[in-house]
Amino acid sequence: MAAPVTTRRWKTLETERVYSTPIFDLHRRTSAHPHRGERHFYVLSAPGWVNIIPLTPAGEVVLVRQYRHGISDFTLEIPGGMIDPEDPNPAEAARREMREECGYDSSIIIPLGQVHPNPAIQPNLCYLFFAPDVRKVGEPNSHINSAEETEVELVPLTDIKPMIATGKITHALVITAFSFFDLYNPPPHR
């Protein structure tokens, strides 16, 4: 029988910011390992992110369609974005993003969980929320001071799984949010 493998942590020796953008900073990290020596790694440091599932009293999910430059195409997503420095906490950041991107709000914001978007190169977290009984409180305004432009779509909650299965929803963090939603909100037994 083989002996169990013992993994060891890398020790960070130095971190240097090599490039900065409004969305992320690129850092070169020098780390040491007891068996592998010193090596350089690259890390994208970004603020925390939020995603929120807004659900109307009629059982419709409020989604936003927007152009994404990374794929040069449109995606269908739940509201979300970066936690701004002035946001008091992730839940309020999620509420702000929901109001900005789709013009809806709820008196209740329920945390679903948190995930590392890509722990191989990013240390940040994405916080996932659910907002039941959302109501339209205004018009979307995320595009006023940014490059974002969104189109709101109301989709029955029962259509979400088929939309994921057929590739109409492809954003990994959106799919993750619905996975958490399913874990904590199982369908009623028949």
- Burial pattern 144-165, b for ≥16 Cβ within 10 A else e, equals eeeebebebeebebeebeebbe
Nearest-angstrom CA–CA distance, 64 and 72? 16
Positions in the chain whose pLDDT score sits under 70: 1-5, 142-149, 186-190
114 Cβ neighbours under 8 A, 6+ residues apart: 125, 126, 127, 128
Q: How do residues 82-97 score in pLDDT, each as one tens digit?
A: 999 999 999 999 999 9
